[in-house]
Structure 1
Amino acid sequence: MGSCESDCLKHTSDHLAQFYQISEKEKKQIFLHGGIPKSFNVQTKTFNETCFMIRQPSLDIINCLKSIDHSKPTVRFVLYGKKGSGKTLCLAHVLHYAHKAGYLIVHVPWLGNWMRRCQECSNSETKEGFVDLNIDAAAWLLHFKTQNAHILSSPEAQTTKEYAWSKREITPKDSSLLELIEHGINRVKYASDTVVALCDEIKTLSVRGVFKTFVAVDGFNAFFYPNTRVYTEKKEMVHPQKVTLTEGFMNLTKFDWNNGAVVVTVDEIAIAEKDQISHMPRYLLGKDGFEHLDPFIPVHVADYSKKELTSCMDYYRERKWVKDYPGLDEEVQFVSGSNPYRLMKVCAPL
């Protein structure tokens, strides 16, 4: 077993259940600001390497991406599965592929952070009844800039229209997208509006063939779950569709554009505990969310197969993470129920 083909452009079903390593340089560029679960990240520090398991759901999406006709409307994939089954890491594998394959990446590492743990909220100055999450928006712009540094330096990455932020502040037409992004980072009060403008520009430029774009949102169902922890200045709860940022990502997850692909996860953890009663897309997205994404390709992320569990235990054994003894795998399988997250937790103290 052990690690295999490290170039994710070459992964095929021959590599299923094997681990592959992502370089520190790529990890810093793609995942510096999120996208790898905290508990898993702790493990990568312990082993001094970041390895993803090659699993069927990621491979299915990667194979589709390889054969997609980019002149057709954008295809939407929805990763779903029980808590701890590995949806975020499947998404991370596909993100790594998209990065390698030259896509512009639009990635929201965990939507719940905005809707349930935002840094600060303020009433929008430009859109009546909307609420800005400007600190989170500025942090996201930095994330986007980091992930796409190599693409944003292209001379074609330019705004298609003018943006007037105030009487004195204007981002002219044909400015570089980097200027637009920098403005949103440096002038935080405009960060939310900048994200919406950027998403719109990305869509236009993709249709014009300047980019092919990969959109990834983890916990996408939080856009449609009414009980947020975002409040107006009068302390009224704000529906996610009234959060300025939402508009940009709603725009990029429609299928009225081409030269792009969309992969989202739906996750119970993105909503309040009392409503975590099903992991199915229809339930988590609700009527509006389901209709927004329909038609989409559902991709189920299951618990570990026998082969995957053995591979994971072999990985731990090779790194002296578990003390091996006869019957260990069966025991661990029983205690964890083959759930990837629980398996990791069970093995931590062994």
Structure 2
Amino acid sequence: MSGSICLRCLARPVAAIETAAPTSRIATAAFSTSAPLAANPPKKKGPAVAVKKQQHTKSFTKARAGGKGGSGGGRPPQQGERKAMRKRIVLSNTNALEVHGLEDMTAKNIVDSQSAGKMLGLSNEVLDALRAAAAFKPTQGWSLFRRPATLVRKETLEVVRQLEEAGDKKSTVRQVIFGEKGSGKSVLQLQAMAAALLKGWVVIHIPEAQELSIGHTSYQPVKIGEETVYVQPHYIAQLLGQIAKANYTVLSHLRLSKQHNLPIPVQSNISLVRFAELGAGDADIAWPFFTALWSELTAPSAEGEGMARPPVLLTLDSLNFAMGNTTYLNAELQNIHAHDLALVRQYMDILSGAESLPNGGAVIAATTESNKPASPALDFACERNEALQAGKEVPEWDPYVKVDRRVLKVMEGAEALHLKGLSKDEARGVMEYYARSGMLRQTVNDSLVGEKWALSGGGIIGELERSSVVMRV
């Protein structure tokens, strides 16, 4: 009985089972991504659809540029706007406290040994002149404090003492400042410029030698004797404008003393500041005006109104870029050496001792450790000159490295100043200034000074400022 029941349960039904789905429904495969056959065909894109898509793309582009999507609020930066923002110099911070009792730098206290380890402010006259000469850099921490002030370190007193001696004896100081990144090379050069301006010198400053060597300005060959040098007219015109603005007080009292062969007629008794402004107004005549101005500044002083000639300070930053080949090409499509650029050669002739300053003065160049090009000859020459000055063993040149003889020849007549970290007394002086400005919220004691001095790599002022002020901000 049980066997018959099991057979009946397993038997297949004879009648077909009717499906509940209507016959009009179309079967589709499972997990299919194709469109159903009953769907309407896609419409063709007409002109209205294309215009709408184009408007959507423009709105999306504006939104990515920083504006409100579709509202036209964003705009692309104008030509030169990004560079202007990147190079913008801010010299004051209204949120910082005013440091009461801060002395201004003068021609007397900058050479006084009692000023060592103290902060000295820059007066408005000196500040305007330094700004016109492009002495400040956007990477420096001037924007953190109420007004610009600088630390007088032992190297500052030594450099200013040499300038004072050169002005009295009508000699020439030739110096190259090198050291670690953030050690204060550019600021020491700025202090020398400020001291020279306070003493009534003429200051000519090239803020970045990189701008002369990377092929970003116009150039043209000029025959000087049997040699071919390359003049950069637009940069020289800009430099003449900076010279006129930075040295307006001094040059406005000086007059022409020679007859020059110039492209345009010039009044015989014109002031040198007006003479420089004429050359700055037209790049085509900038180089003849610069050579004429240089011959006037290096002419011997004479009797008469406006015929006295003051000492001259030449400064150049990022020297590494002026000690090798540039990206400019000559007629044979070979890279032009930086010493074949007319303006750079003018500096190198004085730095090497081939040319002197009859009325006294100095040429001070500073190296850079930020994005610097390789210059083995310059590095070796700095170490060699430092060893010779200290009476130590002179290092030997690596015979497997190609030597640039032109660089070594220039550096033979230059003094090397190795700028290292601050002493603990100097570090205390600058940290007390940070605290009085309200930027350092800790009590400045021996423990804190020792801690920050050690963390900054032995008093590297750039690292000291970063660890004390910048990192907190």
TM score, norm. by length of structure 1: 0.83
2:123 maps to what in 1?
23
Quote the residue 1:122 is aligned against. Answer: 219
Q: 1:3 to 1:251 in 2, by over 3 A?
A: farther
- CA distance in 2 between counterparts of 1:174 and 1:235 reads 45
Equivalent residue for 2:299?
A: 204
Matched with 1:344 is 465
Partner of 1:111: 209
Q: Are the equivalent residues in 2 in contact too, given 1:332–1:343 (CA < 8 A)?
A: yes
1:136 aligns with 2:235: yes
Distance 1:281 1:231, change over 3 A: same
Using the TM superposition, give the Cα deviation of residue 20 of structure 1 relative to its aligned residue in structure 2, in angstroms.
0.6
Root-mean-square deviation (Å): 3.3
SS across alignment from 1:182? helix
Give the Cα–Cα distance (whole angstroms) in 2 for the partners of residues 290 and 201 of structure 1.
30
Deviation at 1:67, TM superposition (A): 3.5
Shift of the 134–303 alpha-carbon distance from structure 1 to 2, 3 Å rule, reads same
Q: Is the counterpart of residue 333 in structure 1 residue 465 in structure 2?
A: no
**How far apart are residue 246 of structure 1 and its match?**
2.2
Show CA shifts across 1:163-204 (max 9, x none): 233xxx344665433343223211112323432332232112
Greater fraction of residues in helix? 1
Could you tell me which of 285, 295, 300 is aligned with 1:190? 285
- Equivalent positions of 1:26-175 (< 5 A) are 26-40=126-140, 43-68=141-166, 70=168, 72-116=170-214, 119-124=216-221, 129-154=228-253, 156-165=254-263, 169-171=264-266, 175=270
1:262 aligned onto 2:401:
no
Q: Contact 2:324–2:375 (CA<8 Å) still a contact in 1?
A: no
Alignment-mate amino acid for residue 451 of structure 2: E
Q: 1:303 to 1:183 in 2, by over 3 A?
A: same
Secondary structure, counterpart of 2:435 in structure 1: helix
User: In structure 2, how many angstroms separate the alpha carbons of the residues matched to 1:190 and 1:283?
Assistant: 41
Alignment partners' CA distance in 1, 2:319 and 2:180 = 14
Higher-RCO chain (CA-CA 8 Å, sequence separation at least 6): 1
- Residue identity (%): 17
Moved more, 244-253 or 142-151: 244-253
Whether the 8 Å CA contact 1:78–1:296 is kept in 2: the answer is yes
Pairwise CA distance, 1:279: 8.0
Query: Are the equivalent residues in 2 in contact too, given 1:29–1:147 (CA < 8 A)?
Result: yes
In 2: Cα distance, 1:172 partner to 1:222 partner = 40
CA drift of 1:228 comes to: 2.0
Counterpart of 1:319? 437
SS in 2 for 1:303: coil
Q: Which runs of 5+ in 1 are unaligned?
A: none
Once the two structures are TM-superposed, the CA of residue 278 in structure 1 deviates from its matched residue by 4.0
User: Which residues of 2 match residues 227-242 of structure 1 at below 5 A?
Assistant: 227-232=325-330, 236-242=334-340
Task: Check whether the contact 2:163–2:173 (CA below 8 A) recurs between aligned residues.
Answer: no
State which drifts further: 310-319 or 321-330: 321-330
- Which amino acid letter does the alignment assign opposite residue 281 of structure 1? C
Q: Matched residues in 1 for 2:203 and 2:301: separation? A: 12
Is this contact kept in 2: 1:106–1:213, CA < 8 A? no
- Is 2:124 the counterpart of 1:6? no
Shift of 1:113: 2.7
Q: Deviations over 1:320-345 (max 9, x none)?
A: 21332685434332332121112223
- More off after superposition, 237-246 vs 199-208: 199-208
2:390 matched to which residue of 1? none
- Give the direction of change, closer, same or farther, for the CA distance of 1:268–1:7 in structure 2 (3 Å limit): closer
Higher deviation after alignment, 304-313 or 173-182: 173-182
Relative to the length of structure 2, the TM-score reads 0.63
Q: Is the 8 A contact 2:217 2:232 kept in 1?
A: yes
Distance 2:133 2:364 in 1: 18
Contact 2:311/2:360, CA 8 A, preserved across alignment: yes
